[in-house]
Chain A
Amino acid sequence: MVLLLSGLLSATTSLAGAAAKPREVTSVDSIRYFMEKGQSLFVAARYANAAEVFEAGFELHHYSAFKFNAAVALEKAVRFEEAAQRFKEYMEVDASAPDSAEVQKRIERLEQLIAARKKSGKPNSPSAVSPQEDATKSLVVVETEPQGATVHFFQQLADDAQFAAGDEHPGFKLLQTAESTAEVSLDVGKYHVVVDRFGNFNPSEADLEVLPGHVHQLKLNLSQGAFMAYLRVEPNPKYALTYVDDPKREKAAWAKGTHGELIPTGLHQLLVVAPGFQQYARELNLTEGQKEDVSVRLERVEYGVLRFDSNAPNIHVTVDGRPVGDWSNGNRALDVEDLRAGPHQVSVTALGRKPVHDTVIVPKGQVQPVHAHMVVTPPRGAAWTQAIISGVLLGTGAYLGLESNRLYSELHNDRLAGILVSGDSRESRGKWFSVGADIAFLGGAGLGGLAAYNFVRDPLPPSQLQLGKLREFASKPAANRGNAP
């Protein structure tokens, strides 16, 4: 669990209620100012300036972390003599520093570098230090109410270690013990802070992650034994948000992911939510000293989302025969929400592309990306040209045929009337019309067949719907989805 100072301050305040004592804002803010100012200069590789700020902070607030950080900054600035001196001063300020052995070795290494430089007469060069040695220390201030309680700082050795109750704490190492108000300089890392029973006040504990160059202020109100319990919530999925006594989620979440801390006894409303999952809500009635571990496995909601895009510039999407929208290239993908989980008939059409109809399974509580790969409709220009020419030929054939028939009819009638003369020009015209009609019909039929073939012929593959990797809901889902189809 990560406890940043501000969050922790807020949490402890809210949990302690009116019993909390107003903190000395001026002092802590001043410490924080120097620490964070020096850290920002350090990160910017302005090591000499950082060292000066850390020194100035020490002048005002005699915390060993300032000395240590000034020494690290001077070492980075290749000012080894001064760095060794600051490390020594750190040892003097905090004689019980848990890392005194490591610091002593560091001083010796610096002195060797100094001696070597004097012997060679060459200017200093940057020393080879480990990433851990590069880090500055942070100041952790643990205050209890009432003061005087014994505070233990356990360093978490493994990322997945859980602090166990009792005397054995696998995965943790007792680093330092102090009396509150405890002010310790800690390296960057995860810690677990335990406050022993103090008189008739209950013990207390909290997780803590120390960031580089920060001032962490931890206030623990020690309640009397009859009023406090410990609640730990482990949700699945791990990014689920936990709300305590906030059913409408009007405040910041109590925790994100797994989290545990002291909580007043009594009836509490627990709400765990995650996008794409049905919310989990229950009531907890915690008693004095009760340690409650709640493991929550959220169930996915019964609806999902289809997210459409395409290689075509514009597409029209229909789901289960209902138009659901259009998508154009350059716009965000078309999300079709509130779809009942399960198979749905999806149709996508695009101008000049082959339409595609397929069944897509909508996942529960997730987004199914659907890429409509729209294949262009084969060009029918040649077919249309052939069809038109065929039509023209058929029309011409029909005209010529009709004209031929008309001439034949005239000649026939004239013959019956006894006036048909040999060499009548209509005979040759009628013959040519007949020949022309036959040729036109043949040509028209041939071209018509060719046009039909070219209309049917399709050398390109069909359009298809390509399903992408399922994605989680990005936003907080609505609490109640009643209109999912």
Chain B
Amino acid sequence: MRRTGLNLGMAFSIWGVLGCTWTRFDDVTDNPPVERFDVSNDVSGAGQSVASFATAAGSDLAVSAVNKLLLYELGAGVDPSRTAVKTQACNGDASCLLTRQLVGLQPSALLENNGCVAYGIGTYDFGTGTAAGSVQLLCEDLKQRWLPVPDTFTTWLTGNAISSDMVVSMATTRRGDVQPLVVSVPNAQATWFYDGVDPTPIELPALPDDNLAGRTLAVIGEGDGYWVASGSVTTDNSVWLYRVNSDRTATLAGCIEGASQFGRILATGNFDDDGIDDLAVADDQRVVLIRGSNLTSVAENTGGPCTSLDAVQVIASASCTQLPDLDGCAASPYVGAIATGNLDALDRDELIVGAPNTSVRGEEAAGAVFLYAWSNDALHIVQGLYVSSAASDDLLGTSVAITHAADIDTVVAGVPGDDTVMAFYCNSLMPAQSRSARCH
């Protein structure tokens, strides 16, 4: 009898210790540090590219999927709408080809003071009664807008078979009151530029010796003009530079040659705090930061072969580093996407590298995003962002972007293997005052 009572006592003690209230899970999962955005079941491959743009209410997030564009309202704080407010079809034919890199554009007069995302090109009829090609935009008011393309591209568009695997590249500047837009379609040997004020495109000159470029693009504002960087298609290790001047003229400025796959991904950011954005160029295994103010030296070498990377001023480079739970060094390529942002609210931008092939807690190709920050004038890896639900082949980091939420830059990463996008509202660089309830 006594033994029975003891057993019962033990049982209830265990119950007391282990008997769980399920509501405690709500306490720990409410307002999680990472927000996962919902994607409807009829969408696949969501997260191939992401971009953010400012809106009157804060910011919006654009996400590309297979033949679709999703638009989410992030708002001004840390409570985004997890459900897409707009799903825009882009069929991957002549009517609409999605760009490999979505480009978020700040509100401007050109865009009727709407924040927009440039997501593709095609002959989609916006109600103008014309079948001419255009750069297609989706704006915060959920309306589509368009920018005209050069006539030569329209001609090419109507005379060639268009397939969904055709590369369309776009880019804009990291910052600036007026944001330009550069578009390239290597198959059409066409690259053109919008200065953000005039919707008329500025065609960039053709490359010598039938070289093709435009697989990746980047734009740096300098003075009254811009530097446009374009990854070579003909060779796999060079980046061509154009100069677009304030008088709407454009010239070829030269090229930079690096290691294999040099130029496969481009981005810009203020890494040296000199007022001119710098160029981030990725190859297979690392990201090289080239001082933007030094691109003039490249431009001086137009007559000869490409300027060696060794001859330009490299600020720093970022390569793979092993971190707890993360193993991304063995996979190739290491870099899947690049973004720049000011995560610590200090002067310099930080480098954000998406590494979709990274193993997370043993889950192969679950993917991660690595943050590189400055310390003692050197770039160091400070954190790897991944998600608690990481699973093999999620490919988190296939695309990365920066959105501005709650007065601080926030990392957004596409997870096409899981058909979603993750917003990381907390990181180790975030100042204490910027930390929301999600970070506690």
Contact = CB atoms under 8 A, between A and B. Distances in A.
A-side interface size class: 35 or more
Interface string A405-425: 100101110110011111111
A422 B58 CA distance: 22
A444 interface: yes
B426 interface: yes
A405 B20 contact: yes
Interface in B1-58: 1, 4-5, 7-8, 11-12, 14-15, 17-22, 24-25, 28-29, 32-36
B212 to A, nearest CB: 40
17 contacts: A397-B18, A397-B19, A401-B14, A408-B20, A411-B25, A415-B33, A418-B424, A419-B33, A420-B34, A421-B387, A422-B82, A424-B32, A431-B25, A434-B25, A438-B15, A441-B19, A456-B4
A411 B28 contact: yes
Contacts of B21: 434
B422 interface: yes
Going nearest first, the 9 A-B pairs with the smallest beta carbon separation are: A401-B18, A434-B20, A414-B388, A418-B426, A434-B22, A421-B34, A431-B22, A441-B15, A421-B387
Contacts of B424: 418
Given A420-B34, A421-B35, A404 B12 contact: no
Contacts of B4: 448, 451-452, 455-456
Interface of B: 1, 4-5, 7-8, 11-12, 14-15, 17-22, 24-25, 28-29, 32-36, 82, 385-389, 422, 424, 426-428, 439
A419 B34 contact: yes
Given A420-B34, A455-B4, A401 B24 contact: no
A445 interface: yes
A422 B35 CA distance: 5
Contact of A441 (B11, B33, B428): B11
A394 interface: yes
Contact of A421 (B7, B12, B24, B32): B32
A411 B424 CA distance: 16
User: Which interface residue of B22, B35, B387, B428 has the most chain A CB atoms within 10 A?
Assistant: B22
A414 B387 CA distance: 8
Given A408-B28, A431-B25, A435-B22, A421 B422 contact: yes
B34 to A, nearest CB: 4
Contacts of A423: 36, 389
A445 B1 CA distance: 15
A427 interface: yes
A401 B428 CA distance: 33
Contacts of B17: 401
B14 A419 contact: no
Contact of A398 (B14, B34, B388, B422): B14
A421 B422 CA distance: 8
Nearest to B34: A421
A281 to B, nearest CB: 60
Contact of B36 (A397, A422, A431, A435): A422
A437 B389 contact: no
B33 A433 contact: no
Nearest to B16: A441
A402 interface: yes
Contacts of A444: 11
Nearest to B38: A423
Contacts of A426: 388-389
Given A397-B18, A401-B15, A445-B12, 17 more contacts: A394-B14, A398-B14, A401-B20, A408-B25, A419-B386, A420-B28, A421-B34, A421-B36, A423-B36, A424-B32, A431-B22, A434-B20, A434-B22, A435-B22, A444-B11, A448-B11, A452-B8
A430 interface: yes
A437 B18 contact: yes
A449 interface: yes
B22 A430 contact: yes
A444 B82 CA distance: 42
A449 B8 CA distance: 8
B129 to A, nearest CB: 45
Interface of A: 394, 397-398, 401-402, 404-405, 408, 410-412, 414-415, 418-427, 430-435, 437-438, 441, 444-445, 448-449, 451-452, 455-456
Contacts of A421: 32-36, 387-389, 422
A382 to B, nearest CB: 15
A195 to B, nearest CB: 85
B385 A418 contact: yes
B39 to A, nearest CB: 12
B34 A397 contact: no
Contacts of A422: 29, 32, 34-36, 82
A445 B439 CA distance: 40
A424 B7 contact: no
A427 B25 contact: yes
Contact of B439 (A418, A425, A448): A418
Contacts of B18: 397-398, 401-402, 404-405, 437, 441
User: Which interface residue of A420, A425, A426, A435 has the most chain B CB atoms within 10 A?
Assistant: A420
Given A408-B25, A421-B35, A445-B8, A397 B385 contact: no
B290 to A, nearest CB: 31
User: Which interface residue of B4, B28, B36, B424 has the most chain A CB atoms within 10 A?
Assistant: B28
B207 to A, nearest CB: 44
A433 B20 contact: yes
A431 B27 CA distance: 12
User: Which interface residue of A415, A425, A434, A451 has the most chain B CB atoms within 10 A?
Assistant: A415
A420 B29 contact: yes
B33 A411 contact: no
A419 B368 CA distance: 11
A287 B33 CA distance: 131
A430 B25 contact: yes
A278 B257 CA distance: 132
User: Which interface residue of B20, B22, B82 has the most chain A CB atoms within 10 A?
Assistant: B20
User: Which interface residue of B29, B36, B426, B439 has the most chain A CB atoms within 10 A?
Assistant: B29
A411 B20 CA distance: 15
Nearest to B37: A422
A437 B29 contact: no
Contacts of B34: 418-422
Nearest to A412: B28
B186 to A, nearest CB: 37
Contacts of B32: 415, 420-422, 424
Contacts of B5: 452
B387 A419 contact: yes
A401 B12 CA distance: 13
Contact of A420 (B11, B82, B388): B388
A387 to B, nearest CB: 9
Contacts of B36: 421-423
A426 B389 CA distance: 8
Given A419-B387, A422-B82, A424-B32, A397 B22 contact: no
